[in-house]
Structure 1
Amino acid sequence: MMFACSDILFADMIARTPISTPLNEWLIQALDFSGMSQSALAERLDAVVPKKVDRSTVNKMALGKRAISAEELLRIAEITGFDVPGEIPSTPTIAIAGTVGAGAQVPVFDAYPKGGGPQVECPPGLSPHGVVAVEIAGDSMEPVFSAGDLLFYTRHTHDGVPNDVIGHRCVVEDEDGMGWVKQVKPGDEPGLFHLISLNPGANTMWNKGLKWAARVRLHWPAELARKI
């Protein structure tokens, strides 16, 4: 189970370790400070981060054989009560292109086509290269997606609807310039598509022309997103 990150500001934390301290040494100092064993920390950490963490994972972190993500760093600081180093490792970010809807119309969402808009920290396990995000608007996709949730996808530079998106949940732009999140099915004629709503109570959009469609790669709940 994943829990929302707390709103602790790194800038407000007073470091007890030098800026130059490697993170594995910081982890060892955090364990010494708290009196916790690696096993105890692993159990606590595993409950609050997306990736599986066990005692061997923490041991690899302490030996410098496994990187410590920004979220793991914050969680370890919370669990042990030992402040983070004075300098936080840089975290890759992904541009938020705009907003999309499901049952209610949302204007064209490429508000920041050149990536000049807001950014969000790249979720663990997802490469930021070639990936953009859109934010859910409204409650028309409940209970699958909620308002404020982020969807990550790779949009190719060319327009169109690749064959590998058929049957999947996709971010799409229709011929009227409206952004949607729908399951894409073949239409009754070539070049047309049925857009199946994620909300059972919403209507299917039949035989719609699309400028492009991109498969959703990751759904990230609003409470986990760290916007920059």
Structure 2
Amino acid sequence: MAIAGKVGAGAQVPVFDAYEKGDGPQVECPPGLSPHGVVAVEVEGDSMEPIYSHGDLLFYTRNGHDAVPSDVIGYRCVCEDADGMGWVKQVKAGDEPGLFHLISLNPGANTMWNVRLNWAVRVRLHWPAELAKRVQ
């Protein structure tokens, strides 16, 4: 399956700016996941250390709807903000309806407060960079 692009863990990354659909680097689909409907993205930055590191792969499923369902609150998610930037963060409810706090796990990184999101989905699987099986 193709890596769709990158998500920022501290770095500002436009959602899926890296590759045309299907043209990204190829990686084997992890055992136990069907490649249908699953998206792979690469982490850029270190704000989610020590859980996710620069170069790690994250896998998630989107149902095609732009929304932030209540079941993502409190979890590590791939999300897109209103400016079109892609992030991997822990999502928490913001100070007003429709706003969210994007929590960085690295104590030296900044948390983003009261951010408007287009969508957010929970990370289904994390593959450290050294374990990801890239296909030539």
TM-score, scaled to structure 2: 0.89
CA displacement 1:105-127 (0-9 Å, x = unmatched): 22222544633322210112222
Structure 1, gaps ≥5 residues long: 1-93
Asked if 1:198 corresponds to 2:105, the answer is: yes
Alignment equivalent of 2:27, drawn from 106, 120, 138: 120
| Amino acid corresponding to residue 37 of structure 2 in structure 1 | G
What is the letter of the counterpart of residue 132 of structure 2? A
- CA 1:119–1:154: 2 relative to 1, 3 Å: same
Match of 1:180 among 75, 87, 92: 87
Q: Counterparts in 2 of 1:80-119, with a 5 A limit?
A: 94-109=1-16, 111-112=18-19, 114-119=21-26
User: Do the aligned partners of residues 151 and 225 (structure 1) sit closer, same or farther apart at CA in structure 2, a change above 3 Å counting?
Assistant: same
Higher relative contact order (CA 8 A, sep 6+): 2
Tell me if 1:132 matches 2:46. Answer: no
- The residue that corresponds to 2:134 in the other structure is 227
SS in 1 for 2:130: helix
Counterpart-to-counterpart distance in 2, 1:172 and 1:149: 16
Query: What value does the CA root-mean-square deviation take over the aligned residues?
Result: 1.6
**Distance in 2 separating the partners of 1:150 and 1:161:** 22
Q: Distance in 2 between matches of 1:207 and 1:113?
A: 31
May I ask how many residue pairs the two structures share in their alignment?
135
Gaps of 5+ in 2: none
User: 1:217 aligned to 2:124?
Assistant: yes
Q: Secondary structure at the match of 1:164?
A: helix
Query: 1:191 and 1:113, CA in 2 relative to 1: closer, same or farther beyond 3 A?
Result: farther
Q: Which has the higher helix share?
A: 1
